Structures are given as C-alpha cells and as structure tokens.
Chains A and B, each alone.
Chain A
Amino acid sequence: MVSVALDKKNLKKFVGAMLKQGKALGPVATENGTVLGELTAKSDIVLDYGNFKLPPKREFFPQCEVITRFDGTKVSEEPVRGQASVIFGVRPCDAQALAYLDKVFSDETYTDPYYQTRRDGALVISLACSEPGEACFCTATGGGPGATTGADIAAFSQSASVLLEAVSKKGESFLKKNTGLFREPTKKELQNKKTQGSEYAKRLSRVDVSGAPKALEKRNDSRFWDEIAETCLSCGACTFLCPTCHCFDLYEEKRGSASARIRLHDACTFPSFTREASGHNPRAGKGDRMRQRVMHKFSYAPENFGTVFCVGCGRCVVHCPSNIDIRETIAKVNS
C-alpha cells in the first residue's frame, strides 16, 4: 500500500486538499477542548489531543435524524443531509468501532441506507495515538495506538512530519490525487511508525476480554448484576459516549399538520429502554439493564459478529458519574 510523508509545514495545504473533497472534519481547538469540528481553509488542525469526548460514530449515525416526513397528505423519505466527505483525526479505537458498526448497519441481508450513504461518502483518516488516556485499554480489545482497522488512511504524527499510509482503495486514490503535497518517507520515519505507541501500549491497563463471552454464559444471577449496577444512576452518559453503542429508537412527532419519524440514539441504561406499550418492562431494574449492556458488547456481539463490541476507548469509565468501570466489571465476570 502507498505510504507518503507530509511535512507539518504543509498541513494547511493538506486541509485544502481535504476541503476539495467536500465537507471536512478534523480536530480543532475550542474552549471545550479539542473537538471533531468542521474545517475551513483557515483551520489549524490539532495533532496532540487525547481523544474527542464525543465518538465519531455520530457523523455516520447521528443522535437524532429525521428519516420520514408526512405533510398531511403524502409521506416522503428524508434524504441524508450534511454528511462529511473527509474525517481526519479519528483515533484508532474509534476507527475500529466504525468497522464494527459496519457489521451492524451494512449487514449482508440488510443495509441501513442512512448509515451506508454517510459511510460511503466519507474518507476516514485515523491518527495514531502518542499518549494514553487515563482509562485507555485498546490493546486489551484487539486494537492498539497504531491500529488501522476501519480507516481509509492511517496517519502517524511524528516530530516534523505526518506519515500517511493508505489502508483502503479509497484512501490510496486520495493520496495519489494529492501527490504534490507529499514526499517519499525516509527510512527513519518508516521505522518510527513501527515503534510508535509501543512504549505507551505497555502502560495501558490490561483486561482479559477473550474469556468474557464464555464466562458471561454463566452469569445469570440477577444479584451479580444488581450489585454491579448498584450505584448506576440510569443516565445515558456511557452509551451516548460509546463509539460502538448503536441501539436506536424511532419516535413520531407531530407539529401542526406535519409529522416526522425521527431516529434517536437509545440507551439500555435508561429505565424506558424496552418498556412495552402495556407498561411492562422486561428489564425493569438497573441490574437487568446493566446485564444487557455488558452481554450485548461481550456476548451477543461475539456470537453475531465474531468480536466484542468494545474498543477500549475508556470514555464510559471516565464519564460515568458513579465511575462504574467496565474493566472491573469484566474482571468480576471472569472471576
């Protein structure tokens, strides 16, 4: 695959090249920290951030999207709007999560048109990590600071340059189209790429997720889950920030004579999750819902898609108001 080097002094031009593709998103500094924001020709992209608070899944599977409208007489499908053409700076864990979401939304038997249109239209450029976050554990879930799964191009920021490596055909054609911006990478740069993150990978916390699917089969005791979920507040911080959570709800809304059908992110931690029309809820307790969350990621997903649906980004660990730690939960499941 094609591998090129971009000198950091040419970053602005690189932004220009991305903008030629259409709407481009990348890491930009704001008063709320580094966010995945829309780029303009003037944007200075940031390369030394930890990770975005909000997962990039939202660019492909928005939290709230109108899918059908009804104007009082006829029903019309809502076209996909505002999708990005290039997304730069997706961390390897989040890129891997996109590969997992592909398994869900681009299934052989059914393809989700909204997700697929956005996915097909966007070039994803991942950016290798250089500094682990407090709760990162990507190496335990099959990833790593320099992993490239899910990306079209993998970028590696080095001292004076960014090494870009094509991962998919789409990525390769973008690099070839913009050869003027790049130069041949030096041997040293290629060598650095190989070792990038290897030191930090040693510092990441270790959790054994491989035994979890089997161990979970035996965790049918509701007391076990009630205890884990004891301090759960039933908010949706963990699921809304999770790069692989993909449950959604359909909601119909009427305003005046017009109505819309809206697809919204749902959270298995919410008490209303799976509440039936009769009012009965098969998962009435937060322990039941915690079980669902953990089973979905570490049992049902391996069964259906051959992999756990956790990429070790640590967002749920950091942002849970009660600090319920999925690493500890898995350790308890295994014990």
Chain B
Amino acid sequence: MQDQERKMKAAAKRLFDDQKVDVVVGFRKGSLPNSSRPYFARSAADAEHLVWNGFCTANLAAFLPKLFEKPARPKDGYKPPRIAVIAKGCDGRSVSGLIKENQVPRSNLIVIGVPCHGMVTSNKGAKAKKEEVARACQECVSPTVKDADITIDGEGRKPAKTAYARVKAFAGKSSEERWKAFVKEISKCIRCNACREACPNCYCKTCFADQRKPSWVSPANELSETIVFHMGRMFHQAGRCVECDACVNACPMGIDLRLFTQKLAQDALDLFGSTPGIAGDEVPMLNTFAQDDSQCFITDPEEK
C-alpha cells in the first residue's frame, strides 16, 4: 500500500506540474489515531499530504457535484474547474453514475484509480477495536476502477462473488419481523442528514425532505417522519446505489442502512440485471425499459 501511495502522490504531482488539474480530491492523514480524511490538494506541494491507507473510507465522488457547480454569478470567462479524483472501486462506480446523470463533466475529470485492498471499519472513536475489513469492502464486487484515466498499479482486493446473503436472509423473514427491524434501526436516527450529505447520489439542490411548500416530510424527528425521510431517500437510490456504505460510515448513530439499500441493489440486479457503475456504458436502469422488464415488484412484491 505504501508503494501505491508513493505512485498515487507522484501521479497527482505530475498532473499539477503539467498544469492539467486545479484540484486533486484525495485523502490526508486524519486527526484521530488510525484515520484518514477527505482532502482537496490544490498544488504539487499540497499533493505531498495525500495518503493512501486502510482508513480511506469516505466516498470522494460525493464532493464532485458541488465542486463542479457553476457559481450563482460566474465571472466573465468562467470555466468549470479541472478536477482529479483518487478513486477506489466504489468511488469509481459513483463517478460513473454521476457522469451518466450529467452531474460531472467527463472532459474536466481525471479519475486516478487505485486498486483497493478494502477499508477498515470506521471506529468513530471507539477504543482499540479489532480492525476488520468493512462489510462493504468484504462484499465489494469491483474493488478496482475499470475505466480510470490513470491506474496506479498493484493488486487490489479479490472481487466478492455473492454479496447478498445477508439481505436474502433478511428478506426471508415475515413482513412484521422486517418492519420491526427496520423501525428499530431507524429509531436511532437524529435527522442530522449525514447519510444524505455523504452520499454521492444525493446531489439534489433541494432534497424532498427540505422542501417546505409543500412539506413532504416534517423536519421533526418523530419516528413516523424519520421513516418517511429514510424510505424516500432509499427509494431514490433504486438502480443507483453502488453499495459503498458512505451513508453507514457517516452516520454518527451507527444505523445499519446497508441492509436496506442493499435490498434495492439486489432487486436491481435480480430483476433488471443492473449493477450500477460496473459496466461503463450501461444505461442506468431507470433510464431505459424493455418489454420483458420484470413487473413483479408491482404485482407480487412478496415473491421471493
């Protein structure tokens, strides 16, 4: 990994030296023991601070739509910035989705793919917990970006084969049991919106949960409202969620959102043969239709 870090830094520096980018979005050392945090390098000197280790959990694609957002009053001759992003497999899948959804101009983006070994479960200040590879990484089907502009050599983690064992086991339970488990998890929520803000797919200028005319969801952290918020957010992930666990890692309350968003990902795969972000030229599931598309999610949602 140290070798990868050295090569990644060199690649970033070269981009600055060749004046090809304005910003490199990567990671730098965090302020807590065993942590890394998102970092925007803006010069070759800044690039010295970039790190690559087992704590680079955040999905950096989440920063891209805002970095590319055109200012409200752009100066004359405004040009969108040229941005490079250090990408694990999941960041790469998100970038691919953002490009397809026209949130990121491909021509201004350089993807530096780094083969991912899997990141360590974020410990959020918990003491000396055994370090283990995060569930999202254990279940990752594409730890390495396929269509990166620059690929740092080295072996990544072996792609996982079956990712949905836990979801399938959960889906096998009765609807009462599932609802109980869902409510139990969601009742931990304090509505801080960290899940939403950390998610690369949640780039709406105004989230439905923040709209007040009409108010689809109350901002009050009452259980029923919180459930509506999470359901709404999750449904917006159907066919789009890349299962990176950015939401899970950002959540201060430790809510197991993965179990639920993964069900949507599993449905996307089983019913429509779609794994978002994997095949570079695949049309996003919800942007297309075929006559033989599955309709069981409407006609027979309980079908196993």
Contact surface of A with B, Cβ cutoff 8 Å: 32, 50, 53-54, 63-64, 133-135, 230-231, 233-237, 239-241, 249, 251, 253, 262, 264, 267, 270, 272, 314, 317-319, 321-325, 327-328
Q: Considering only CB atoms, which chain A residue lies closest to B122 in the complex?
A: A321
How near does chain B come to A129, taking the closest CB pair, in angstroms? 13
Q: Give the CA-CA distance A248 to B218 in the complex, in Å.
A: 15
Residues of A within 8 A of B3 (CB): none
Residues of B within 8 A of A230 (CB): 40
Residues of A within 8 A of B198 (CB): 233, 235, 321
25 contacts between A and B (CB under 8 A): A50-B127, A63-B191, A134-B32, A135-B31, A231-B39, A233-B194, A233-B250, A235-B192, A235-B194, A240-B190, A240-B192, A251-B219, A253-B218, A262-B220, A264-B220, A270-B193, A318-B125, A319-B124, A319-B252, A321-B58, A321-B197, A321-B198, A321-B249, A322-B37, A322-B38
Contacts A239-B192, A251-B218 known; 15 new A-B pairs at CB < 8 A = A32-B188, A133-B125, A231-B39, A235-B196, A235-B197, A236-B192, A240-B191, A241-B192, A253-B218, A253-B220, A272-B210, A317-B32, A322-B37, A323-B31, A323-B32
A327, B252: Cβ atoms under 8 Å?
no
How near does chain A come to B186, taking the closest CB pair, in angstroms? 13
Q: Give the CA-CA distance A301 to B219 in the complex, in Å.
A: 27
A134, B125: Cβ atoms under 8 Å?
yes
Q: Give the CA-CA distance A318 to B33 in the complex, in Å.
A: 10
B33, A231: Cβ atoms under 8 Å?
no
B37, A323: Cβ atoms under 8 Å?
yes
Residues of B within 8 A of A235 (CB): 192-194, 196-198, 250
Residues of A within 8 A of B37 (CB): 231, 322-324
How near does chain A come to B83, taking the closest CB pair, in angstroms? 13
Q: Mark B251-271, 1 if CB is under 8 A from A, else 0.
A: 011100000000000000000
Q: Give the CA-CA distance A28 to B198 in the complex, in Å.
A: 31
Q: Give the CA-CA distance A87 to B224 in the complex, in Å.
A: 28
In this assembly, does B19 line the interface, its C-beta being within 8 Å of a C-beta of chain A?
A: no
Q: Give the CA-CA distance A230 to B25 in the complex, in Å.
A: 11
In this assembly, does B222 line the interface, its C-beta being within 8 Å of a C-beta of chain A?
A: yes
Q: Which of B38, B40, B194 has the most CB of A within 10 A?
A: B194
Q: Which of B188, B190, B191 has the most CB of A within 10 A?
A: B190
Q: Considering only CB atoms, which chain B residue lies closest to A327 in the complex?
A: B31
Q: Which of B196, B215, B250 has the most CB of A within 10 A?
A: B250
Q: Residues of B within 8 Å of A, CB-based: how many? A: 36
Q: Considering only CB atoms, which chain A residue lies closest to B193 in the complex?
A: A235
Q: Which of A64, A237, A253, A262 sits near B192, CB closer than 8 Å? A: A237
In this assembly, does B170 line the interface, its C-beta being within 8 Å of a C-beta of chain A?
A: no
A321, B194: Cβ atoms under 8 Å?
yes
Contact count A vs B, C-beta below 8 Å:
99
Q: Considering only CB atoms, which chain A residue lies closest to B188 in the complex?
A: A32
Q: Give the CA-CA distance A240 to B32 in the complex, in Å.
A: 20
Q: Give the CA-CA distance A323 to B37 in the complex, in Å.
A: 6
How near does chain B come to A317, taking the closest CB pair, in angstroms? 7
A318, B124: Cβ atoms under 8 Å?
yes
Residues of A within 8 A of B196 (CB): 235
Interface residues of B in 33-79 (CB under 8 A from A): 33, 35, 37-40, 58, 62-63
B221, A63: Cβ atoms under 8 Å?
yes
Residues of B within 8 A of A325 (CB): 31
Q: Which of B32, B38, B250, B254 sits near A231, CB closer than 8 Å? A: B38
A134, B219: Cβ atoms under 8 Å?
no
A237, B254: Cβ atoms under 8 Å?
no
In this assembly, does B30 line the interface, its C-beta being within 8 Å of a C-beta of chain A?
A: yes
Interface residues of B in 164-193 (CB under 8 A from A): 188, 190-193
Q: Give the CA-CA distance A123 to B221 in the complex, in Å.
A: 27
How near does chain A come to B67, taking the closest CB pair, in angstroms? 10
How near does chain A come to B70, taking the closest CB pair, in angstroms? 14
Residues of A within 8 A of B63 (CB): 231
Q: Mark B195-229, 1 if CB is under 8 A from A, else 0.
A: 01110000000000010000100111110000000
Q: Considering only CB atoms, which chain A residue lies closest to B60 in the complex?
A: A231
A53, B252: Cβ atoms under 8 Å?
yes
Residues of A within 8 A of B219 (CB): 249, 251, 264
A54, B190: Cβ atoms under 8 Å?
yes
Q: Considering only CB atoms, which chain B residue lies closest to A284 in the complex?
A: B72
How near does chain B come to A122, taking the closest CB pair, in angstroms? 21
Q: Which of B32, B215, B222 sits near A318, CB closer than 8 Å? A: B32
Residues of B within 8 A of A50 (CB): 125, 127
Residues of B within 8 A of A253 (CB): 215, 218, 220
Q: Give the CA-CA distance A133 to B127 in the complex, in Å.
A: 8
B252, A241: Cβ atoms under 8 Å?
yes
Residues of B within 8 A of A314 (CB): 125
Q: Which of A251, A270, A323 sits near B30, CB closer than 8 Å? A: A323
Q: Mark B145-175, 1 if CB is under 8 A from A, else 0.
A: 0000000000000000000000000000000
